[in-house]
Structure 1
């Protein structure tokens, strides 16, 4: 198996965890199977960079060194807000030469500024998706997933999602067992699906201003197995179904059905991760009614059936 060079691009104001998280994954793979990855870090002039948290990182080389990267990793951080034209120019010239182009968090802003994301479906940290879409209309921005893979380009959301993406890349390169060994060593799950939402329904939705609607939100979260149709929820809020649906969407930013769908999915996920309950029992408790209905919801939202999700994300029993 040919050794792959993984090159991390460094700059002042980089987010340290955007670098160290994926780096530890690739380094873990090299520990498991020596000779698989050659990991390098480079800044424009080869000088140390100061991260956004104050940590100083010393690169291995400057960006003027001969380019031989298989995987080019561009992290994010405050330094992406006003990028150096020299850095953007280097990415524009060398990015197309990498077999795999990866961004972590707001590193996607650098890639977009270099014209490397045009026509691609991508993601970034939820707080910066609007800016990415506004400043780069040729880029298809999906604000929901923790990472997105579009051909040779892979982009991840905020900070720790870079670890999830790196594990997925290692699994592609070296197989599930190696990736699983790294995940266990780092004490993280293998692996959150890329299309898992960046945050929960309760965080994704705004909190309604009016108390009857806030009470409905609380009720949904506490009773996912109940009848949560618009008529039942409207009655709880003492509103007509049409008025309730319109007011709920206006005040929370999503329809009642979408909110219920997210809450039920999260409830089922927690039960699969934290309890030994069977799929049939969980489907009833989460409001799906049948295992088949829950399976369809999981495959649609997470790309994995409930049994596969549990196998991936429940920690292995202690030996």
Structure 2
């Protein structure tokens, strides 16, 4: 997406510090690495206590209205039963009813879903929260479809997460959505959260899968492939990037990444092909070429290892753009 995304972390007194700090650091790192994120922290009061007893100060006031392309993330609290009866929490619920614009994304972490419910934002929607608060959320939003055992749930402009460390999973998902998979992978690696968990199923983004290890040589080879998956990398070239011998890289890859070098490379080529197919403006033959496959036939053969339908059918189900048959523009 073009243009900056304004990210607003919303806190209330006795905020659970990890609910805020983990996702906020992920967003800060994404911006530092060149992502188009403008990160703010706001609250109904200029300073407040956290779950660890330390105070946060110099907090911005809740903006009367949010700018276009905004993301609001409401962090959870340590003792929501008491905390959300206080005037500050009630002020946030009231603010949520008026401040978001039609294009505003609103997300909650852990018990923050209860504030979204108090604002009426979860009515008729799918949502989730921390496993200990499922019943409380159902009582607060009786028309919502509260889902258990989910890390996070997306329904339209509203995203809710189970909280604690899943706030980082949600942040990485949003970074991937607005800044690209490669940026999310770099942030995950910097946070030493190599395996980003998905919200609605256990499947990982191909750009982040097989990265839940700490071996620097394997990461160097994976970084090289991820930077240019369409290139016909030889094992010798990747071994040179990794500063090990080809035989040693093969062994390290299998041991630490859990897959072979070729399988990993093909997975990223298929991920690139999915992105190109979803665009809808190129033929399957062109997609195969740009993703690095030797031919459309080779592409289709590898594709069927990952998908149950042909590339053309997969694209038809996801793209509303007309296909420019035969057109192949390099990028």
Q: Which TM bucket (shorter chain)? A: 0.5 to 0.7
Which residues of 2 match residues 230-309 of structure 1 at below 5 A?
Answer: 302=201, 304=203
Contact 1:44 1:64 in 2 (8 A): no
Is structure 2 residue 70 aligned with structure 1 residue 70?
Answer: yes
Which residues of 2 match residues 41-120 of structure 1 at below 5 A?
Answer: 41-45=41-45, 47-68=46-67, 70-78=70-78, 80-81=80-81, 84-95=89-100, 97=102, 99-120=104-125
TM-score, normalising length: structure 1: 0.60
Deviation digits for residues 135-166 of structure 1, max 9, x if unmatched? 32111101111111111111110211000010
Is structure 2 residue 141 aligned with structure 1 residue 136?
Answer: yes
SS at match of 1:311: coil
Contact 2:185 2:207 in 1 (8 A): no
Following TM superposition, where does structure 1 have runs of at least 4 consecutive aligned residues deviating by more than 3 angstroms?
Answer: 95-98, 305-310, 312-319
The CA distance in 2 between the partners of 1:117 and 1:23, in whole Å, is 23
Contact 1:11 1:79 in 2 (8 A): no
Contact 2:27 2:39 in 1 (8 A): yes
The CA distance in 2 between the partners of 1:144 and 1:72, in whole Å, is 24
Is structure 2 residue 17 aligned with structure 1 residue 12?
Answer: no
Indicate the residue corresponding to 2:22 in structure 1: 21
Mark the runs of 5 or more structure 2 residues left unpaired by the alignment: 82-86, 219-331
Deviation digits for residues 27-66 of structure 1, max 9, x if unmatched? 11111115x1111111113x11111221211244111455
Contact 2:181 2:207 in 1 (8 A): no
SS at match of 2:73: strand
- Closer, same or farther in 2 for the Cα pair 1:151/1:315, shift >3 Å? farther
Q: How many residues align?
A: 211
SS at match of 1:189: coil
- Closer, same or farther in 2 for the Cα pair 1:17/1:309, shift >3 Å? closer
- Closer, same or farther in 2 for the Cα pair 1:79/1:135, shift >3 Å? same
- Closer, same or farther in 2 for the Cα pair 1:140/1:182, shift >3 Å? same
Contact 1:119 1:139 in 2 (8 A): yes
- Closer, same or farther in 2 for the Cα pair 1:125/1:306, shift >3 Å? closer
The CA distance in 1 between the partners of 2:205 and 2:188, in whole Å, is 20
- Closer, same or farther in 2 for the Cα pair 1:97/1:44, shift >3 Å? farther
SS at match of 1:318: helix
The CA distance in 1 between the partners of 2:108 and 2:50, in whole Å, is 17
Deviation digits for residues 193-245 of structure 1, max 9, x if unmatched? 113xxxxxxxxxxxxxxxxxxxxxxxxxxxxxxxxxxxxxxxxxxxxxxxxxx
Mark the runs of 5 or more structure 1 residues left unpaired by the alignment: 196-301
